[in-house]
Chain A
């Protein structure tokens, strides 16, 4: 089944404790992205990647890191989480062979609470 998976789905942690949220897609998509969803703010893009070893900042990259060492995986790293990073996180991927925007496929989300 074609899908985007995220782990963990739920995480409660404490301020300053490094964590990684994994994202994996099995559709051979080149494009991947991370978003956070907050009430009243909608989705905001954190980072995106247009290919292996190619990443760029979205609108809210502060406090986050990403890496894209292989096509299927795009982990989100919080080196020193803070309470304002408590949010619902989504990973997405898409295929754009002609250079025109494709359909983004979203993962199920990761609910992160930082105490």
Chain B
């Protein structure tokens, strides 16, 4: 079965420190990969996506993600965390099936401490 795993329910990091939010997937073929962020009482907002090409993808608000095909991972990173980055982060995969199917992870709550 196709799936996306976000192994950490919560990640705590001090402001100014680098952050990583992990995502691994189990999807056949070459899937498309996404990160979304959800602030309290809001809908999801797009951060970045990997379609093809360079394994390091840069997105909004200084976030980036590294695609690793051999490890089937797509970890989200930021060199220096801000308190305002505190939110719920979702990894999502779209299988290369020609459909509009999306598989989301369970989410990781990021808490940046001042």
Contacts and interface: CB of A to CB of B under 8 A. Distances in A.
Interface in A69-111: 90, 92, 100-101, 103-109
Contacts of A100: 32, 51
A44 B104 CA distance: 7
Nearest to A99: B98
Interface in A46-64: 48-50, 56, 58-59
A60 B6 CA distance: 20
Contacts of B92: 43
Nearest to B33: A101
Interface string B91-114: 010100001111111110000000
Interface residues of B, number: 23
Contacts of B105: 42
Contacts of A49: 100
Contact of B43 (A48, A103, A107): A107
B107 A42 contact: yes
B90 interface: yes
Given A42-B90, A106-B45, A107-B43, A50 B106 contact: no
A33 B44 contact: no
A108 B90 contact: no
Contacts of B107: 42
A57 to B, nearest CB: 9
Interface of A: 4, 31, 33, 35, 40-45, 48-50, 56, 58-59, 90, 92, 100-101, 103-109
Interface of B: 6, 32, 34, 36, 42-46, 49, 51, 90, 92, 94, 99-107
